Chain A
Amino acid sequence: MSSEILKKILFTMVRIRLVQEKIAEKYPEQKMRCPVHLCIGQEAIGAGVCTAMDKDDYLFSNHRSHCHYLAKGGDLNAMIAEIYGKATGCAKGKGGSMHLVDVSANILGAVPIVGGVIPVALGAAFGTSLKKENKVTVVFFGDGASEEGVFYESLNFAALKKLPIVFVCENNFYSVYSPLSVRQPSGRDNVALARSFGIHSKKSDGNDAEGVYNAAKEAIEIARSGNGPSLLEFDTYRYREHCGPAYDDHLGYRAECEIKEWTAKCPIEIFRNKLLTDNAVGQNEIDFFVKETVLEIEKAFEFAENSPFPDSDELTKDVYA
């Protein structure tokens, strides 16, 4: 893999982490008045997958979409303004953190109904296929979504029509506080499930950015060459609470040893150390990038805070085209 790509993945992850941490830091100010689902700890998946995508490819996501949005090239100012409920937000403040969109970056939407976005993404893939456009659609969802009916319905139709889509399941083992053990039979295997539909499928470590990129690259090439859909499942871990800026480990719903194990596997630290060891990136480059990015983020928050709220006549605008 070229060092350009390696660096891009690393810097994408670092930028996403810095944005999230800034949101977490400023959230208690009570100016961001919508739920936020931070993806701190899960950055490798969005960064790896989106780096493997073309700009023209479509992306759809779920309630935990900050990572995917930024990795695909979504506008940072518009995202922060959206979370602040401002008119300059990517959805004019009508969506908030759970409804990020940037059509110019081919991010066609993120929605928080679990699994609800999967068939919509599939429809984009169906549409491009009908129009004979050579575009791939990627949809991100969590382990909970793989329990929804539309997940199976979508695998079925994707396989039936050999559609150019990559289903990406980010398995962080919990749906809010409910662990996999109370939701799925032990030994359930999404890879085997997808393969039973004739869909290419792989499971790998979601905290290994390079592995994610390679798996995504392969799946995207399969889709682009007309060989149909893929399901990629990546195990990962969210470091903070399901929704909100804080840690919630005191609640005891996750075992201490499990938290420790995953904290030690920080996707950014692992990848940064690897690239430094391999001389693919220099510490000074990283330091410079962090310094620049911190400034960029400061400016995005200033932009958001200084932006106006939507006018009152926006209340009933945009209901119909």
Chain B
Amino acid sequence: MPDIERHIDFATAVLEATDQCMSDDKSVFIIGLGVTDPKGIFNTTIGLEAKYGSDRVMDMPVSENAMTGVMIGASLVGMRPILTHQRIDFMLLALDQVINNAAKWRYMFGGRQKVPIVIRVLVGRGWGQGAQHAQSLQSLFAHIPGLKVVMPTTPYDAKGLLISAIRDDNPVIYIDHRWLHNITGPVPEERFEVPIGKARIMREGKDLTIVAASYMSLEALRAAEVLEKYGIDAEVVDLRTLRPLDEDAIAGSVKKTGRLIAIDGSWKACSMTSEIVAIATEHAFDKLKAAPVRINYPEAPSPTTPALANLYYPKAIDIINPAFGMLGKPSKSEEEVGIVYRNPLDVPDRTFKGPF
């Protein structure tokens, strides 16, 4: 990546990508509950209605399933809708339209039509979001042929992947994580695409591969920084796209390091970690020096109380100790490796004061 002077946060990157795509292409419009409200989907849609009018920036009825079907139909006659839900949990109401229609319309009609829609959904976390506002359902959608699933981590990828998703002629599920919204990073002002289906090496290393996506990639980076102090050189692969998955990037890194920790902020069974480990064993079996390790959420819904939620989400130390284990070093405590929490564990940073 070239040197980029300008730093903006993730939410602003999402807004800028949406704005630029709407400005470039009149068939792009955005709809969703709260898109035009004063909070503007956590500041990701603020100002769009004033700029593009209420025919292109719209609130909608609380009818997730029908409205998903409506976007499919609109796309069949030449529109390029962006449908947003403030939580991915709400999208479960639309599984029929997403899986039965959006994912299959092209194939089941012999490739006669295309369905260029983006469904942008947020994963919630912390501040007691609880069982129905903090689910991570990416592997559910990544299972389905006909869908593309992207999950950016950095503001740069947030913008570039959203532009790619809007320009793509297929249904793309764009999953962003509430805790990434305040993260800042270098982002060019001009339009650019981050290719769908390509992972990115966030940090190069030779001893161990850590594969993750979205907020868990940041935990992986934190872990890698600590591991470096103990002479362990970890490579962090940020998936960015979950379908189509960048098998070459995963296998290539594991071939190089011989060790794999796969992290998915979601439950273990049939998760992205299942897939990542399968790819490593299929394509890099003879290079593996240790059994791969998977890190996922406990097999329970997300609890509300901070006492339990703090145990629920994997932290850097939960990545560091398996890495030590793989390299024959003893486990250590957070104090021993020097991890100090300056913020309560149920918020991403000091600015986050709830309520959602």
Question: Which of B65, B100, B110 has the most chain A CB atoms inside 10 A of its CB?
Answer: B110
Give A195 Cβ to nearest chain B Cβ, in Å: 19
Can you pick out 6 interface pairs between chain A and chain B where the beta carbons lie within 8 Å of each other? A108-B73, A111-B108, A119-B72, A123-B71, A150-B65, A153-B67
CB 8 Å contact bits of B42-77 with A (1 = contact, 0 = none): 000000000000011000110101111111111111
Binds A, one of B111-119, B124-132, B198-206, B295-303: B111-119
- Choice from B76, B96, B112 contacting A116 with Cβ under 8 Å: B96
Query: Counting chain A CB atoms within 10 Å of each CB, which of B65, B66, B69 scores highest?
Result: B66
* Contact call A123/B110, Cβ cutoff below 8 A: no
A168 to B70 CA separation, bound complex (whole angstroms): 17
**Of residues 63 to 96 in A, which have CB atoms within 8 Å of B's CB atoms?**
89-95
A101 contacts chain B at the CB level, 8 A cutoff: yes
- Give A104-146 interface residues, CB cut-off 8 Å to B: 108-109, 111, 113, 116, 118-128, 130-131
Report B-chain residues with C-beta under 8 Å of the C-beta of A109: 76, 105, 109, 113
- Which residues on A sit within 8 Å (CB–CB) of B207? none
Interface status of B107 (Cβ within 8 A of chain A): yes
Q: Are A123 and B74 interface neighbours, CB within 8 A?
A: yes
Q: Are B101 and A111 in contact, with the CB atoms below 8 A?
A: yes
User: Is there contact, CB below 8 Å, between B108 and A128?
Assistant: no
Assess whether B79 is in contact with A127, with CB atoms less than 8 Å apart. yes
List the B residue with the shortest CB-CB distance to A87: B110
Q: Per-residue 0/1 for A222-256: is the Cβ within 8 Å of any B Cβ (1 yes, 0 no)?
A: 00000000000000000000000000000000000
The reply to whether B109 and A116 contact each other, CB–CB distance below 8 Å, is: no
Does any Cβ of A come within 8 Å of B146's Cβ? yes
* A120 and B101 within 8 A (CB): yes
> How many interface residues does B have (CB within 8 Å)?
42
Which residues of B lie under 8 Å from residue A131 when comparing CB positions?
A: 77-79
Number of chain A residues whose Cβ lies closer than 8 Å to a Cβ of chain B: 42
Question: Within 8 Å of chain A (Cβ to Cβ): is B29?
Answer: yes
A39-47, A265-273, A313-321: which lies at the interface: A313-321
What residues make up the interface of A, taking CB atoms closer than 8 Å to B? 58, 60, 89-95, 99, 101, 103, 108-109, 111, 113, 116, 118-128, 130-131, 149-150, 153-154, 156-157, 160, 317-321
The smallest C-beta distance from A193 to any residue of chain B, in angstroms, reads 16
Contact present for B66 and A130 (CB under 8 Å):
no
Query: A113 CA to B151 CA in the complex, in Å?
Result: 30
Rounded to whole Å, the gap between the CB of A48 and the closest CB of chain B is: 24
A95 to B109, CA, bound (A): 6
Whether B110 contacts A89 by the Cβ 8 Å rule is: yes
Cα–Cα, bound, A94→B78 (Å)? 23
A141–B74 CA distance with the chains assembled, in angstroms: 19
Q: Which of A90, A111, A156 contacts B110 (CB 8 A)?
A: A90
Q: Does B170 belong to the interface (CB within 8 Å)? A: yes
Q: Using a CB-CB cutoff of 8 Å, which residues 126-165 of chain B contact chain A?
A: 145-146, 148
Q: Judge whether A122 and B110 touch: CB under 8 Å.
A: no
Interchain CB contact under 8 A, A153 and B108:
no
